[in-house]
Amino acid sequence: MCPAKTVDGQQRGFVIPIGGGEERINDPVILQRFVDISGGKEAYIVIIPTASQLVETGPNYEAIFKDLGVKHAISLPINSREDAQSTDYLAELDKATGIFITGGNQLRLSTILGGTPVAQAIRRLNADGVHVAGTSAGAAIMPEHMIAGGPTGALPNEQGVTFAPGLGLINKILLDQHFSQRNRLGRLLSAVSYNPFASGIGICEDTAAFIGPDGVIEVVGNGSLTVVDPSDLQYTSMAAARTGDAITLIGLKLHLLSHGDTYCLNTRIASPK
């Protein structure tokens, strides 16, 4: 699934995956940056708490965004595929200057939102210039191919990752979150080894990748962004691997980036701040 097409030169909105655990009270640099680009005090933030089964998740984020000065922040309690067809919820989305997808279980997101009018609206609105941020599970679902699961560990293996369809807001990355905290390098390497078309992006907690319409990622936050760049990959043994086999990957590049550093998805060039 490719990102929705822009219309007549319209600039696409930012796609902002957050690694989870973002600071919300003391110097919430990630959420503040999201608010600023979404219009500041005049922003209209629509929150999608579907991944969480906690009823307070949506209202909590409403309060967080209002504490950051946003006049209009509303949570849409979408808990079923029927909810994801609500004309009232679609009308709220059409007012959005920023959409925020909370954490929880990414398979709740994909099974409830996948293919629904709400999912289609999020894709269309992003193509129309609306910024879409998501934390943890809300970040995981953003790419075309969503990492749905896989074991922890530093090394790739033949059963190292499980995929499910994502929202398709971007198709140039494979993405994992809570990255260093949950030791997920191995499953990101496994994901990249299947098809080196996409760059692998691992995002630590309290860290975000602000992906602009020009394909440039800017790192924002207090952790690291790990980039697995397969542009010079010479060989992967994944196609011939049997259960339990170690995986050979020759020619990968690995970048570790921090606040202010950038990586261009089009040129695959990393730059310090």
Question: How far apart, in whole angstroms, are the C-alpha atoms of residue 86 and residue 206?
Answer: 33
Catalytically annotated residue among 75, 136, 193, 224 = 136
Annotated catalytic, 178?
yes
* Pairing of β 15-18 and β 72-75: unpaired
Annotated catalytic, 136?
yes
Catalytically annotated residue among 22, 144, 205, 218 = 205
Catalytically annotated residue among 72, 131, 145, 178 = 178
Annotated catalytic, 80?
no
Long-range (24+ apart) CB contacts under 8 A made by 63-68 are 64/24, 64/28, 64/31, 65/31, 65/35, 65/100, 68/28, 68/31, 68/32, 68/35
Catalytic residues: 136, 178, 205
